[in-house]
């Protein structure tokens, strides 16, 4: 039987997993299984943390999931930052910065980082983000080929510009374009799109 693949726009406040066996978590958390009647064998390819939004790929193909996570495929994020980021801070991000991962120091790989002049056309931020209560802010595009836990947030904080809102807009050639929060799109040609067939 053919594998199923999906792309979804994960909203703010949802966990990138189908569910939990923890009763307390089941009561207090929201899972992506709420967005669509997925079959039991569907899994997320990678993750987005609770407060992050954007493109999340889903599949029934465990091998594909593993390949994407290990392939060094590009993942692009738009980060809304507290403060107007400087060229010097952007250059530091591009070269790699030291962040903490599981209690150890980690030097991030060189990445693409560029200032976004015009505010992206995203839906209004979730009210809990309180974006408007901060000082002037700016948008930055960050493209990584790795995916450490909360990596973009840690990187921008290290250079002095904490992330207020984070939206993943692209994985490989697959983009978020035309999607709204909670959208789920059947995506049968995902392996071809990612050049992994």
Whether 49 is catalytic is yes
Burial label for 142, CB within 10 Å (0-12, 13-18, 19+), is buried
Catalytic entry in 41, 49, 66, 186: 49
Q: Which residues pair with 98 in a beta bridge?
A: 107
Q: Cβ contacts of residue 68 below 8 Å, gap of 6+?
A: 45, 46, 57, 171, 194, 196
Half-sphere exposure of 106 (CA within 13 A, CB side): 17
Cα angle vertex 135, ends 129, 139, to 5°?
70
Catalytic residues: 49
């Amino acid at each position: 039987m053919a594998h199923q693949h999906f792309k979804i726009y994960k909203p703010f406040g949802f966990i990138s997993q189908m569910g939990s066996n923890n009763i307390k978590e089941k009561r207090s958390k929201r899972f992506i299984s709420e967005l669509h009647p997925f079959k039991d064998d569907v899994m997320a390819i990678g993750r987005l943390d609770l407060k992050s939004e954007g493109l999340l790929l889903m599949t029934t193909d465990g091998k594909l999931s593993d390949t994407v996570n290990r392939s060094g495929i590009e993942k692009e994020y738009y980060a809304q930052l507290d403060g107007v980021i400087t060229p010097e801070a952007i250059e530091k991000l591009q070269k790699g910065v030291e962040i903490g991962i599981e209690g150890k120091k980690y030097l991030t790989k060189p990445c693409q980082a560029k200032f976004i002049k015009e505010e992206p056309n995203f839906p209004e931020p979730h009210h809990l983000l309180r974006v408007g209560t901060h000082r002037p802010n700016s948008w930055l595009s960050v493209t990584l080929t790795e995916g450490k836990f909360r990596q973009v947030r840690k990187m921008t904080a290290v250079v002095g510009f904490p992330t207020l809102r984070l939206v993943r807009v692209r994985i490989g050639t697959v983009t978020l374009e035309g999607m709204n929060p909670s959208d789920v799109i059947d995506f049968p040609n995902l392996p071809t799109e990612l050049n992994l067939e």
